[in-house]
Structure 1
Amino acid sequence: IDSSGRIYVAGYTNRGTGNDFAVARYLSNGALDTSFGVAGVAVNSFSTNDQAMAMALQSDGRIVVTGIFTSDFGTVRYNDNGSLDTSFGTSGFVRTPMGTGTDTATSIAIRGDGRIFVGGNAQFGSDFDFGIAVYNANGTLDTTFNGSGRMMTNIGVADRATSIALMSDGRFMLAGRSDGNVAVVRYNADGSLDSSFASSGVATINLFTSNDGANAMRLQSDGSILLAGAMGSGSSSDHALMRLDSNGDLDASFGVDGVVQTSFADDNDEAFAMTIGTDGRLLVAGRTMSASGFDFSVARYMLASNIAPNAAITGSTSVNEGSTIALNGSSSADLDGSIVSYEWDFDYDGVDFTVDANGSSTMFSAANLNGPASRVVALRVTDDNGASTITFRTINVTNVAPTVTIGGPNNGLRGNALTFTADFFDAGSQDTHRLRWEFSDGTVMEVDASGNHASINHTFASAGSFSVTVTVIDSDGDSSTAQMNVVISEPQPPPPPPPEVQPVRLVDDPQNPGKKMLVVDGTSGNDDIRFRMHGKKVEVRYNGRKIGVFNVTSRIVANGLGGNDRIIADGVYVAVQFVGGAGNDTLRGGRKNDSLDGGSGNDKLLGESGNDLLCGGSGSDTIHGGAGNDTLDGGAGRDHLHDACGRNSFVYDSEDWKPKKKRR
């Protein structure tokens, strides 16, 4: 019966060509569950003679059925809908030879780690032995068990195991019959016999004479072992219920010397199954013979000893990596007392119980788990008499896709590199990541990511609107994408260089429209600039080099700028305007009305002929007017102003020396 109250029944059916496995599922009201198999029944053929003998339900809802495939152990796993689970064995089933004759699997149990234990008997000629096969969750034999995944135990000649029970510490037990007696064997986790049990791991019990056997077994929380079967001689038998202590001896406190015998009719009564009800009483079912044949038989017994509590877990069976879910054990119950402790193991291996949390409820965290994966969570409840029960469920850890954001400029220039960034987060702390960058100009780049931040440079070869997409992919294949747009413009051409200013140039004279003036600029160093007539034109020599001959119709303007400059107008018949600038300059005018300005420094100015204006500027200057009516201005400093022919004007201060007017 599953947690939904649905009832599963397994056996076999004959469809005219041999026996086939048959599994039926009923709703809690007894009606066939039509969502299972075909109209509530799944029938499958695996060999010429297939008989299902035992069944167990996994925590994830799948059904495991075992029995016989012609002459070998045969085990099948079904999905919840009744279809074969093709992830198990070969297309949903596994066939395992045990002996050399007919081998029959009669019992099954599943550990918390998913391993499947199948018990039965193996035939070797006329001899039958207890046999057990242990499978991994995928249906392969568990070779860590006895090296091959299989184990046989020879007790007598006719040894037949009918039931199996798993202990929480990894040990397990098989029960059945051996040569007419009850036989119980306890094994260590590796398959070796547990020598602490009975005689070297094997207990044989003679209840009557020759027809004793156990068909069902149940372990109690105090280590006691309940067995149900038959006791008798020849073809006559009664229901037999017995209890052994943890050492393998009959428990004298149970029934009469450890045995309860129940007769339903004169002949052939036998118990095949038992369970402890929610009220703590023991139910035993079997058969009895009447005059019309065999009938069902059911008996209920009171168990005087403490009843172990019932453990139950409620809550979700799946959690996203990095998240938590709530689990609750408060629906656990103790029929004859109270539960005093709740203990949780968040990674139960089916053998060792490690306490990770306490309390009737807890939070299961997947903060450090990497999905997809699964964990077995176990709850152990203990009552006020020290009895405990463990239940477990599988929690599936789901992978969560990473999230990503993209950053970068929204504008750029063709041919210029742009930097784009990606920041991402993944709840799976153990995931690794790969980034895929896609640019709508056709460029695609993939890189492995380190940490949660990455950047990349890209240059667009043309202008326009483009998209930039980044996809982060985790190591489980899940991904997330972010996108942005960028507008690329053509770069502006650089401004043209300013026109080069020639040091000597003939230009229009703004003061004399229609006339041309010659402009000469010196340098910041020491310059030698000379002008002389070349016919009716003016020849220019610049720092010892002849520049050319120019047709000057207005005037000559020369600027020495910095340095100790010499600017000479040698007999030029064109008015000149010379400015020496900073430095100790020598300026000499021509034959027209000239303007000479020495600027700062100790300058020498010679007006020559014409009505000239000579300004020394700051510094100790020497100024000669020359012929003509000149104006001499020494400026600041100790200047020497020299007269010559003509009517001259002097501008001087107290430091200047002015000659007396010559008599004419």
Structure 2
Amino acid sequence: MRQKKSLVLMATGILLIMLLPALAFANVEDRAGVDKDALMKKVSGLQMPFIENQGQIKDKSVRFYANTFAGTVFVTDKGEIVYSLVKREAGTENTEQRQEESEDGIQNTEDRQINTKAVVLRESLECPEETGIKGLNKSVTTANYFVGSKDNWRTNIPTWQEVSLGEVYEGIELKLKAYGNNVEKLFTVYPGGTSEDITLKMEGAKGIKVNKSGELEIETELGTVKMTKPVAYQETGGEKKYIQVAYNVLADSGTYGFEIGEYDKTKPLVIDPLLASTFIGGSSSDYVYALALDSSGDVFVAGWTWSSDYPTTVGAYDTTHNGYSDVIVSKLDSNLSSLLASTFIGGGNYDHADAIAIDSSGDVFVAGKTWSSDYPTTVGAYDTTFNGNGDVFVSKLDSNLSSLLSSTFIGGSSVDHARALAIDLSGDVFVAGLTGSSDYPTTVGAYDTTLNGNDDVFVSKLDSSLSSLVSSTLIGGSGVDDAYALAIDSSGDVFVAGLTGSSDYPTTVGAFDTVYNSDDVFVSKLDSSLSSLVSSTLIGGSGVDDAYALAIDSSGDVFVAGRTLSSDYPTTVGAYDTTFNGNWDVFVSKLDSSLSSLLASTFIGGSSYDYVYALAIGSSGDLFAAGVTNSSDYPTTVGAYDTTLNGNGDVFVSKLDSSLSSLVSSTFIGGSDYEPAYAIAIDSSGDVFVAGQTRSSDYSTTVGAYDITFNGGEYDGIISKLDSDLSAGGDLAVPHISASPASKDFGSVDTGASASQIFTISNIGIKDLVINRAYLTGANLYQFSIENDTCSGMTIAPSGSCTLDAVFSPTKGGALSARIAIESNDPALPTLYLELTGTGIVVGEPDISASPASRDFGTLVIGRISPSQTFTISNIGTGYLVINTAYLTGTNPYQFSIQNDTCSGKTIAPSGSCIIEARYEPTKTGTMYAEIGIGSDDPDTPTLYIDLTGTGVNNTPPVADPNGPYTGIEGQTITLDGSGSTDSDGSIPLYEWDIDNDGTFDYISSSPTQSHTYAQQGTYTINLRVTDDLGATGEATTTATISDTSPTADFTGSPTSGLAPLTVNFTDNSTGYDQPLSNEWDFDNDGTIDSTVQNPSYTYNTAGTYTVSLTVTDSDGSANSLTRTDYITVTACLDPARISGATPVYYSALQAAYDAAVDGDTIQSQAVIFTEDLNINSSISVTFEGGYDCDYTAVTGETTINGTMTISDGTVTIWDFILE
């Protein structure tokens, strides 16, 4: 294949998330590459490389796969590309119906967060060559899988930034590149290859077609997937020339290819469509629901985001997205041009902020609802424990959003949602919203401490440090009651407004309306301690009426606004509009401070839906309302910023006088899709700020604003500033100059020759652009010229354009530069500069050379990669050398790779040089040959070849050495040592031990040593398997001989001495490893087993000294004995009669004891029978006590005399005797 002196590059890609909008390349010459580059820049930081399948995926046909935010892309061993795409149906909120969302609508994380559906698309090449799939550009990331049993674990799995499918058609190579959440197909077509050969079959689709915009639409069961219009270009010297290209859908409607226009076949061609899905959702929507201004005029907004790349600022409290949806708080300057501070707040589940307020110190309070048990709270806060099923949170940050000063939960066991927040003059914090918790915290003395129905309004008051719940009350009836608005008047009284479905919602005597009309507005007033319902009224008609906004003027009058379906909603004479306009109408009503009189009330609306979500009162008392409308006839005023509905639902801002009798001014703001405004504020100058979110990529932005580009996802947050008249003369109405292209590098141009570029100058603002002049400036301005200038002195209408040509005509060699300066009335960019660069080539003859001229990489194991070889390419001629491209060719080009190429597309001055680095990556054995072909304008060597050789050899498996044999004792740890294992051509990263040779590896480790304890004696075969760094294995066995352990006999007895009969309790204290132990007792050393009980008792009836033995046997049969010699001593009974005293004297007969007695003695006798005659014949007094036990410790019976007793002298007292 040495003839391959040029190549064609064609790339296709699939964008798998909706962080970025689909690209549309209407003007192929001027715009195609710019959008692609911007897209790649936005996703380049999110690397999600391909993971090699080493068995963690059961389908063995899968070679590589990449996980994306929207699904998984698989590459099979047949070269198929399989997209498993996910449709997510949660996390995408219908903001039109925000006020009606179910509080249980977002699932708990235990339920896997999102209701998902999937579609599988299988894209395969028709009639390809045999593919050679491998990973390229190894990533620093490795993957580990610890799933199931240890046999299924996989560690240190390599990942790759690219996957090569090899030469899929003759002369056509295919690579896949991973860009984060984008996978791009790159076809390289060499001379001899034909781009028409590329045909791709899309399986799993209902059909494919090319739409009017040139996009490829793929119809699936879940919706339409779009592949954007392809782009084709050739690049030389850094300049892109765009070539016509289009999809070509073949007859079967399931296969497509490309139709390509004429191009220079000696230079590369790139074709690049990106696949974007209209239904595959990502984590990239952003919602703004709250707005506040501080005393300096800085703008704070709050809401929530699914975007991990939502902009945060250095030093902010939290710059990392925490999971699912996070609260966001952002601060901008009053011109909306700078993001001063921005932070996340959140936990591992869903966190939504609906309200924001700023206190007199500039501290920022946000409130809303969290489903995160780990939502951040602070020490000393009122409640730091998540209560379940969605809690209210209130968080306080400093003005720089750098510190979470305090943060607390409030809630009960059911749903709790804060929707409104206000701070009184004392700095106390009030929150209001909805609760379904019967145990929502209330305080003693509060107006109502009992849940009244399904959902009640709550109003809670905390101190400024959020450490104490000062007061808290419920308000409600038997139905559903929800508060969306909260305000505090100058007296400190608290007003709440919302919607009620309770016919018994509490009202007060004298209120404007105490009769429930059907789904009514409520307005309720409480004292500052929340202990008393000062006044409360309903407002409504026969349809549904919902209030979302509340404001109090300097006189204390109360304005409430929302939406109504009631044609009979109460209006007042002289109001701006007293006629219902159809569908949903905006209503604005004004009540006195006691809520007893409806001072004024009006509709505002058109023929479609109109919702108001926010109110603000200007310094002159005028009322400003903001929301969303889909009515093309929503009332606007002459001179307003925008009087035409732009899409499916526009922001509206309307200004009424304080009597609601006149619509002072009214405007739309919007793009081609849907955008609601949820918040409004007015600064000290009277300028009006509104905030919300948009689905429109063309939402109105202004020059110099912080971010004028739609960032993707379903919604972006929006903030807009208008003057107090809502007029077209405000900040939004300015011209804005733009140029395409914004610069031009003419590349290398010979002296005496020239090159030109057409620049299109456009007005992308909404006011006429006046261009004063265009002129050249810069270091080499005389090397360039302006021709065909249709811009200077012209006025360009909005969306209009003009053109001018820049011409590069070098008269000298080297790098040359200049700028075109265009002066206009663009206030943000009064002078636009277009950078011009080029290289002048002095005509001469170049001469290309390479050092070294060849490289033999030697012998290398298959699967390894050689060190890179640097080749220096030099121009040793006298003229400039233009290098077109460097590429691999020859017999085995896929066994080598070019890693660093600083030469292709470059112009090398005489004596200059560039470098190319190449390396050897063998995938098969034998000697491989390839060449680096370098095409240039060297007339003698138009293609320079550098020979590359290398020899691939098979990997030598490692040799396992388990050491051993090992010895040990059961129950004790031994250490296995495999450090003697070797790998002659690599390293051993994995050691696996099967400690009992049962075929299951019990230990898997990167360490060669392993500790193990054998439970039982025996001889074990140990198998060690080692795996080298290329996956080859080696095994070897050894043995471990484990010895038995014998038990130890031990016992005690109690008591060990005493009189017969003596009962002794024996305790077994023996120990042993192999339980249980069996016992054999010999209590009298007669060789007979007397007991097998573990802890027996034994009675010794005969006096004597006894030796005791215990033999214990363990479960393995090992035995041990202990003999305690003369361990038990048993003593016989004393004589049956005695004379008691300090030293008793014992006798065998009663008569003998009597004969020895003296006056006053006591003669004691055991409970025995004396056969004798007893003569009492001495002149003494004696006492006989009978019935004693053997050792005279107790009387246990009676003594019997079998004989006669004769008393002839003295005195005798007898106890417990029987005379027979």
TM-score exceeds 0.5: no
Bigger-Rg structure (1/2): 1
TM-score w.r.t. the length of structure 2 is 0.22
